[in-house]
Structure 1
Protein backbone atom coordinates (compact mmCIF):
# COMPACT_ATOMS: atom_id res chain seq x y z
CA UNK A 1 0.00 0.00 0.00
CA UNK A 2 2.92 2.34 0.69
CA UNK A 3 3.96 2.11 -2.96
CA UNK A 4 0.56 3.31 -4.12
CA UNK A 5 0.63 6.18 -1.64
CA UNK A 6 3.96 7.38 -3.03
CA UNK A 7 2.61 6.89 -6.54
CA UNK A 8 -0.50 8.94 -5.77
CA UNK A 9 1.63 11.79 -4.44
CA UNK A 10 3.87 11.55 -7.52
CA UNK A 11 0.86 11.80 -9.84
CA UNK A 12 -0.75 14.64 -7.90
CA UNK A 13 2.43 16.75 -7.76
CA UNK A 14 3.21 16.07 -11.44
CA UNK A 15 -0.24 17.34 -12.41
CA UNK A 16 0.10 20.43 -10.21
CA UNK A 17 3.54 21.13 -11.68
CA UNK A 18 2.20 20.77 -15.22
CA UNK A 19 -0.70 23.13 -14.54
CA UNK A 20 1.74 25.71 -13.19
CA UNK A 21 4.01 25.13 -16.18
CA UNK A 22 1.23 26.65 -18.27
CA UNK A 23 0.87 29.53 -15.79
CA UNK A 24 4.64 30.17 -15.74
CA UNK A 25 4.39 31.49 -19.31
CA UNK A 26 7.68 29.96 -20.41
CA UNK A 27 9.30 30.45 -16.99
CA UNK A 28 8.80 34.21 -17.16
CA UNK A 29 6.53 34.38 -14.08
CA UNK A 30 8.47 33.66 -10.88
CA UNK A 31 5.99 32.02 -8.46
CA UNK A 32 4.50 29.54 -10.94
CA UNK A 33 8.03 28.73 -12.14
CA UNK A 34 9.13 27.91 -8.58
CA UNK A 35 6.06 25.71 -8.11
CA UNK A 36 6.93 23.86 -11.34
CA UNK A 37 10.44 23.04 -10.17
CA UNK A 38 9.32 21.99 -6.68
CA UNK A 39 6.35 20.02 -8.04
CA UNK A 40 8.41 18.01 -10.52
CA UNK A 41 11.12 17.49 -7.90
CA UNK A 42 8.62 16.05 -5.41
CA UNK A 43 6.98 14.01 -8.17
CA UNK A 44 10.22 12.37 -9.28
CA UNK A 45 11.29 11.78 -5.69
CA UNK A 46 8.00 10.02 -4.89
CA UNK A 47 8.13 8.07 -8.16
CA UNK A 48 11.58 6.87 -7.16
CA UNK A 49 10.29 5.84 -3.72
CA UNK A 50 7.42 4.01 -5.45
CA UNK A 51 9.91 1.78 -7.25
CA UNK A 52 10.93 0.21 -3.93
CA UNK A 53 7.45 -1.33 -3.81
CA UNK A 54 6.13 -1.62 -7.36
CA UNK A 55 7.68 -2.82 -10.63
CA UNK A 56 9.01 -0.08 -12.91
CA UNK A 57 6.71 -0.96 -15.82
CA UNK A 58 3.59 -0.77 -13.67
CA UNK A 59 4.57 2.35 -11.71
CA UNK A 60 5.67 4.33 -14.77
CA UNK A 61 2.61 3.32 -16.79
CA UNK A 62 0.27 4.46 -14.03
CA UNK A 63 2.23 7.65 -13.34
CA UNK A 64 2.50 8.74 -16.96
CA UNK A 65 -0.91 7.44 -18.05
CA UNK A 66 -3.00 8.94 -15.28
CA UNK A 67 -0.89 12.09 -15.28
CA UNK A 68 -1.49 12.54 -19.00
CA UNK A 69 -5.21 11.76 -18.81
CA UNK A 70 -5.89 14.01 -15.83
CA UNK A 71 -3.78 16.81 -17.26
CA UNK A 72 -5.76 16.65 -20.51
CA UNK A 73 -9.06 16.83 -18.61
CA UNK A 74 -7.85 19.72 -16.47
CA UNK A 75 -6.60 21.51 -19.58
CA UNK A 76 -10.11 21.39 -20.98
CA UNK A 77 -11.70 22.48 -17.71
CA UNK A 78 -9.23 25.16 -16.60
CA UNK A 79 -7.54 26.44 -19.75
CA UNK A 80 -10.30 26.01 -22.35
CA UNK A 81 -8.25 23.48 -24.32
CA UNK A 82 -10.34 22.06 -27.16
CA UNK A 83 -12.43 18.97 -26.38
CA UNK A 84 -12.68 16.48 -29.22
CA UNK A 85 -13.71 12.91 -29.86
CA UNK A 86 -10.02 12.11 -30.36
CA UNK A 87 -9.16 13.46 -26.91
CA UNK A 88 -11.94 11.48 -25.25
CA UNK A 89 -10.98 8.32 -27.14
CA UNK A 90 -7.31 8.78 -26.27
CA UNK A 91 -8.04 9.26 -22.58
CA UNK A 92 -10.26 6.18 -22.65
CA UNK A 93 -7.43 4.14 -24.17
CA UNK A 94 -4.95 5.41 -21.57
CA UNK A 95 -7.25 4.51 -18.69
CA UNK A 96 -7.97 1.12 -20.26
CA UNK A 97 -4.26 0.45 -20.55
CA UNK A 98 -3.66 1.34 -16.92
CA UNK A 99 -6.52 -0.95 -15.86
CA UNK A 100 -5.08 -3.82 -17.92
CA UNK A 101 -1.64 -3.31 -16.40
CA UNK A 102 -3.18 -3.51 -12.95
CA UNK A 103 -5.11 -6.70 -13.73
CA UNK A 104 -3.91 -9.76 -11.83
CA UNK A 105 -1.41 -11.80 -13.84
CA UNK A 106 -0.78 -14.69 -11.50
CA UNK A 107 2.30 -13.01 -10.04
CA UNK A 108 2.26 -10.53 -7.21
CA UNK A 109 3.08 -7.12 -8.64
CA UNK A 110 3.18 -5.41 -5.28
CA UNK A 111 6.14 -6.53 -3.12
CA UNK A 112 4.31 -5.46 0.04
CA UNK A 113 1.68 -8.16 -0.38
CA UNK A 114 4.31 -10.89 -0.75
Structure 2
Protein backbone atom coordinates (compact mmCIF):
# COMPACT_ATOMS: atom_id res chain seq x y z
CA UNK A 1 0.00 0.00 0.00
CA UNK A 2 2.77 2.53 0.68
CA UNK A 3 3.96 2.22 -2.92
CA UNK A 4 0.46 2.99 -4.21
CA UNK A 5 0.34 6.13 -2.05
CA UNK A 6 3.84 7.05 -3.17
CA UNK A 7 2.93 6.60 -6.85
CA UNK A 8 -0.09 8.86 -6.34
CA UNK A 9 2.11 11.43 -4.58
CA UNK A 10 4.52 11.37 -7.52
CA UNK A 11 1.67 11.77 -10.01
CA UNK A 12 0.28 14.74 -8.06
CA UNK A 13 3.72 16.38 -7.88
CA UNK A 14 4.28 15.89 -11.61
CA UNK A 15 0.83 17.33 -12.35
CA UNK A 16 1.53 20.30 -10.08
CA UNK A 17 4.89 20.96 -11.69
CA UNK A 18 3.44 20.67 -15.18
CA UNK A 19 0.67 23.11 -14.22
CA UNK A 20 3.35 25.47 -12.91
CA UNK A 21 4.89 25.56 -16.39
CA UNK A 22 1.56 26.79 -17.75
CA UNK A 23 0.90 29.27 -14.91
CA UNK A 24 3.15 31.88 -16.56
CA UNK A 25 4.79 32.83 -13.29
CA UNK A 26 1.53 32.41 -11.36
CA UNK A 27 -0.21 35.02 -13.53
CA UNK A 28 -2.78 32.56 -14.93
CA UNK A 29 -5.37 31.54 -12.36
CA UNK A 30 -6.30 27.95 -13.30
CA UNK A 31 -2.79 26.59 -13.82
CA UNK A 32 -1.76 28.37 -10.59
CA UNK A 33 -4.58 26.67 -8.71
CA UNK A 34 -3.56 23.36 -10.30
CA UNK A 35 -0.02 23.88 -9.05
CA UNK A 36 -1.11 24.54 -5.47
CA UNK A 37 -3.56 21.63 -5.45
CA UNK A 38 -1.02 19.27 -7.02
CA UNK A 39 1.57 20.04 -4.39
CA UNK A 40 -0.96 19.93 -1.54
CA UNK A 41 -2.07 16.45 -2.61
CA UNK A 42 1.53 15.36 -3.24
CA UNK A 43 2.77 16.36 0.21
CA UNK A 44 -0.30 14.92 1.92
CA UNK A 45 0.17 11.56 0.22
CA UNK A 46 3.92 11.62 0.84
CA UNK A 47 3.26 12.24 4.54
CA UNK A 48 0.92 9.26 4.61
CA UNK A 49 3.55 7.13 2.87
CA UNK A 50 6.11 8.02 5.53
CA UNK A 51 3.95 6.33 8.19
CA UNK A 52 5.00 2.92 6.84
CA UNK A 53 8.07 3.54 4.67
CA UNK A 54 11.52 4.84 5.52
CA UNK A 55 12.05 8.50 4.74
CA UNK A 56 15.23 7.79 2.78
CA UNK A 57 13.58 5.35 0.41
CA UNK A 58 10.34 7.30 0.04
CA UNK A 59 12.01 10.61 -0.65
CA UNK A 60 14.59 9.11 -3.02
CA UNK A 61 11.83 7.48 -5.05
CA UNK A 62 9.55 10.54 -4.91
CA UNK A 63 12.22 13.03 -5.92
CA UNK A 64 13.97 10.79 -8.43
CA UNK A 65 10.94 9.52 -10.29
CA UNK A 66 9.33 12.97 -10.20
CA UNK A 67 12.46 14.60 -11.62
CA UNK A 68 12.84 11.97 -14.34
CA UNK A 69 9.15 12.20 -15.25
CA UNK A 70 9.21 16.01 -15.52
CA UNK A 71 12.35 15.88 -17.65
CA UNK A 72 10.70 13.32 -19.95
CA UNK A 73 7.49 15.37 -20.17
CA UNK A 74 9.54 18.42 -21.10
CA UNK A 75 11.27 16.55 -23.88
CA UNK A 76 8.23 14.66 -25.17
CA UNK A 77 5.49 17.28 -24.90
CA UNK A 78 6.95 20.73 -24.22
CA UNK A 79 9.50 21.03 -27.00
CA UNK A 80 12.62 20.70 -24.87
CA UNK A 81 15.65 19.17 -26.54
CA UNK A 82 16.20 15.45 -25.94
CA UNK A 83 19.97 15.52 -25.73
CA UNK A 84 22.21 12.61 -24.88
CA UNK A 85 23.20 14.41 -21.67
CA UNK A 86 19.57 14.75 -20.54
CA UNK A 87 18.81 11.12 -21.30
CA UNK A 88 21.97 10.02 -19.48
CA UNK A 89 20.96 12.23 -16.53
CA UNK A 90 17.57 10.56 -16.33
CA UNK A 91 19.25 7.13 -16.42
CA UNK A 92 21.62 8.19 -13.64
CA UNK A 93 18.72 9.44 -11.48
CA UNK A 94 16.88 6.15 -11.88
CA UNK A 95 20.07 4.21 -11.21
CA UNK A 96 20.71 6.25 -8.07
CA UNK A 97 17.24 5.53 -6.71
CA UNK A 98 17.70 1.82 -7.40
CA UNK A 99 21.11 1.80 -5.68
CA UNK A 100 19.73 3.62 -2.63
CA UNK A 101 17.01 1.01 -2.32
CA UNK A 102 19.38 -1.92 -2.86
CA UNK A 103 21.83 -0.42 -0.41
CA UNK A 104 19.40 -0.64 2.47
CA UNK A 105 17.57 2.70 2.45
CA UNK A 106 14.32 0.83 1.98
CA UNK A 107 14.85 -1.55 4.90
Residue 22 (1) aligns with residue 25 (2)? no
- 5+ residue gaps, structure 1, are 110-114
* 2:53 pairs with 1:54: yes
Aligned CA-pair RMSD? 1.5
Find the counterpart in structure 1 of residue 30 from structure 2: 31
Match of 1:103, SS state, is helix
CA deviation after TM superposition for structure 1 residue 108, in Å: 6.9
- Distance (Å, rounded) in 1 between the aligned partners of 2:101 and 2:56: 11
**How far did residue 103 of structure 1 move?**
2.2
Structure 2 gaps, min length 5: none
The structure with the greater share of residues assigned to helix is 2
SS at match of 1:27: coil
> Where in structure 2 are the equivalents of 1:1-114 lying within 5 Å?
2-103=1-102, 105=104, 109=107
1:3-53 deviation digits (Å, cap 9, x = unpaired): 111100110000000001001110111111101000000000111111011
Q: TM-score, normalised by structure 1?
A: 0.88
Higher mean C-alpha displacement, 96-105 vs 39-48: 96-105
Instruction: Give the TM-score, by structure 2 length.
Output: 0.94
Which structure has the bigger radius of gyration?
1
Offset from partner CA, 1:67-86 (integer Å, 9 cap, x none): 00010000111110111111
